[in-house]
Amino acid sequence: MKKMYLHNQARNAARRTIFEGKSFGSSSGKGAVRIVPLGGSGNVTKNMYVYEYRYDGKIRDILIVDCGIGFPDAEMFGVDLIIPDVRYLMDKKDKIRALVFTHGHDDHIGGLPYIYPKLGKVPMYGPTLAAAFANLKLKETPIRDRVRPMRFDSVVEAGAFRVSFIRLTHSIPDTSHLVIETPVGIFYHGSDFKFDPTPLDDKPSEIGKINAVGKRGVLCMLSDSLGSERPGFTPSEQIIGETIEKELRLSHGKVLFTTQSSNISRIQLAIELAQKHGRKIAFLGRSIDKNVEESVKLRYMKFPRDVIINDRDLKRMPANKQFLVVAGAQGQPSSNLSRIANDAHKMIKLNDTDTVIISADPIPGRENDVNKLIDQIYRHGARVSYSDIMEDLHVSGHGSSGDMMLLLSAVGPKYVWPIGGTYKHLMQYRRLAEDLGYNKRSVIIPEDGEVMEFTEHAPPRVVDRVTLEHIMIDGLGIGDVGNVVLRDRQTIALEGIVVVVVPIEEATGRMTSAPEIITRGFVYVKGSQQLLARAADVVSHALTLKKGRIIDWQYVRKRIEESLKEYLLKETGRSPLIVPVILEV
């Protein structure tokens, strides 16, 4: 490995010497490209990048790459999803020429139904499978526009941008890197990838096209950095098959298999192995159903129809003939696998002869959910196989340090920008780049919202900062869960809630009876009667109002909240959410 590093280092240094005197475009020097990361730079999910071509300081054209979702932290109570904050684009919609997707994972396409209506009628493009999965999401909305599928020899003309596609291997077929040609220079947008020599779909990475663009001269490469801490190269997906087959041989009951619902190549592999062992297959979960149906239609998956059974037929079939492909690999509470683990599924009950195969690693932030899921499955006596205890049960779709250095050496950009990881991944990627001869100034690490400007004759620099907020999806609401709502939910979860009901005579402003104190999650009511009685007295004293004064009900509520909060903090050391309710009588 060290010899390879030294070879690459020398090769890359030679390339960069050539680049120093090379023109990356044909503009007169007044042109500039700005890249605005709205998500995915300094975090793993919610990927969305805005490329702007400017001339004489004015925006001419905008190209958007990806439009993904993120997942809530443990403190974001009740939040389902997070989407990129696109307020920056609202006064620039007439400049947006295209939205291009790199691949079909939700952290790259999942935000489309929420965000597309805000952008206007923007042409959308993506590799065939990414387009198909994105269009499945659009079909569930009133949006009539669709993503246009593109072959890997296709080109998208979008104003000053010319976008072409390079096939890379990942954990989903039809993953692409984008070559973005501009008047200022060539940008290589290298999102999620690895170099799998034996991919399950028999379509390897297009190394020749990568080398060809490298020879043309790349101004900046944005590169996946999530696996930068791992040494060597990420193993091939093929090794997972041996582990799945071993579990099939050991199981005397049902086998439940779960992975990302978009990981159709792995689902195809699992189906083929289940067939080999004489099992029938059932799909449990809306996302699995839809993705498999669309993949079969587009011939990305293939299996005899007679091996598929309906979940209603499972009760009439011996358990040792069942293979269930189940949604819920990330421990989502509403998923089929979580319902099965919690004895809430109508058709499926676990027992001690069953096996559950979890062929996925937790997305950062979902570790607790997955661990709770595994605990619940174990309580049924079932055998659970997951990557922490079985090394070859999951293979990352992201390259390790060797994959990243290979790409960096092949492309040989003048500047490199690690993306798709947390800050520690970005910093480790910088070390890898330094091993290949890059200096720190050539490895740029802006975070979400920092606007990078590239010109022909000057180093890239941060020229602006866009204020970004978490736009949270809660049920049907988009962005209606703000910081105040989230703070109240956190307070209720940690400290509880106290509701104070105060009947007040409207004419005089006097209480007609003692305040009623109702608590949830704060104190044990039966053991705290004296505390609550004193709390009612505190409220009464706080509301001694002069007869005949005009009542300011907002002031009254604030007075109740402040006096009660002070008392409860002093007595209990806790600060519950206090909700005053005034009953005018």
Residue 218 and residue 413 in contact, taking contact as beta carbons nearer than 8 Å = yes
Instruction: Say whether pLDDT at 1 is over 50.
Output: no
Question: Where do you find CATH 3.40.50.10710 in the chain?
Answer: 239-390
Classify burial at 136, counting beta carbons within 10 Å of its beta carbon; exposed 0-12, middle 13-18, buried 19 or more.
middle
Q: Tokens 């709390």 appear where?
A: 535
Residues 6 or more apart in contact with residue 540 via CB below 8 angstroms: 511, 514, 515
What pLDDT was estimated at residue 510? 73
Question: What size, in residues, is the chain?
Answer: 585
- Which strands, in side-by-side order, build the sheet including 461-465? 148-150, 124-127, 96-100, 58-65, 48-55, 31-39, 450-454, 461-465
Q: Which residues pair with 180 in a beta bridge?
A: 163, 187
Instruction: Say whether pLDDT at 500 is over 50.
Output: yes
For residues 343-363, one letter each, b for 16 or more C-beta atoms within 10 angstroms of the residue's C-beta and e for the rest, the string is: eebeebebeeebbbbbbbbbb
Alpha carbons 186 and 169: distance in angstroms, whole number: 22
Q: How confident is the model at residue 557 (pLDDT cuts 50, 70, 90)?
A: confident
Alpha carbons 426 and 434: distance in angstroms, whole number: 13
280-284 and 220-224 strand pairing: unpaired
Question: Where do you find CATH 3.10.20.580 in the chain?
Answer: 496-584
Q: Closest by alpha carbon to 417, among 462, 386, 375? A: 462
The fraction of the chain above a pLDDT of 70, given in percent, is 86
Instruction: Say whether pLDDT at 445 is over 90.
Output: yes
Q: Which CATH class is domain 2-233+396-478?
A: alpha beta
The string of DSSP letters for 246-275 reads HHHHH-SS-EEEE--TT-HHHHHHHHHHHH
Q: Long-range contacts made by residues 459-465, C-beta under 8 angstroms, separation at least 24?
A: 459/415, 460/220, 460/415, 463/34
Identify the residue with better confidence: 333 or 54: 54
Distances (CA, A) of 195 to 204, 227, 282, 398, 486: 8, 12, 32, 9, 41
Stretch 443-468: mean pLDDT, rounded? 94
What pLDDT was estimated at residue 47? 96
Q: Closest by alpha carbon to 104, among 186, 47, 59, 188? A: 47
Distances (CA, A) of 76 to 81, 112, 174, 472, 491: 10, 22, 33, 9, 11
| Mean of pLDDT over the chain | 87
Q: How close are the terminal C-alpha atoms of the chain, in Å?
A: 82
Instruction: Say whether pLDDT at 472 is over 80.
Output: no
Stretch 409-422: mean pLDDT, rounded? 96
CA dihedral for 90, 91, 93, 95, sign (positive or negative): negative
What pLDDT was estimated at residue 490? 61
Both tokens of 446, joined, read 């802006």
Q: Long-range contacts made by residues 273-277, C-beta under 8 angstroms, separation at least 24?
A: 273/241, 273/244, 273/245, 273/248, 274/248, 274/307, 274/323, 275/303, 275/304, 275/307, 276/245, 277/245, 277/248, 277/249
3-state secondary structure of 227: coil
Both tokens of 270, joined, read 């699992």
- For the structural domain made of 239-390, what CATH number should be given? 3.40.50.10710
Q: How confident is the model at residue 552 (pLDDT cuts 50, 70, 90)?
A: low
Distances (CA, A) of 245 to 29, 187, 274, 320: 60, 43, 8, 14
Stretch 384-395: mean pLDDT, rounded? 87
What pLDDT was estimated at residue 377? 96
Q: Closest by alpha carbon to 115, among 88, 75, 80, 154? A: 88
Q: How confident is the model at residue 8 (pLDDT cuts 50, 70, 90)?
A: very low
CA angle 268, 273, 279 (to 5 degrees): 105
Stretch 486-496: mean pLDDT, rounded? 63
Q: How confident is the model at residue 495 (pLDDT cuts 50, 70, 90)?
A: confident
Both tokens of 84, joined, read 């990129």
User: Is the CATH number of domain 496-584 3.10.20.580?
Assistant: yes
Both tokens of 425, joined, read 């991944």
Question: Where do you find CATH 3.60.15.10 in the chain?
Answer: 2-233+396-478
How do residues 171-219 score in pLDDT, each as one tens digit? 999 999 999 999 999 999 999 999 999 999 999 999 999 999 999 999 9
Identify the residue with better confidence: 527 or 442: 442
How do residues 10-26 score in pLDDT, each as one tens digit? 344 434 433 333 333 33
Stretch among 76-80, 307-311, 335-339, 574-578 having the lowest mean pLDDT? 76-80
pTM for this one?
A: 0.80
Classify burial at 455, counting beta carbons within 10 Å of its beta carbon; exposed 0-12, middle 13-18, buried 19 or more.
buried
Stretch 217-232: mean pLDDT, rounded? 97
Residue 2 one-letter amino acid = K
Instruction: Say whether pLDDT at 126 is over 90.
Output: yes
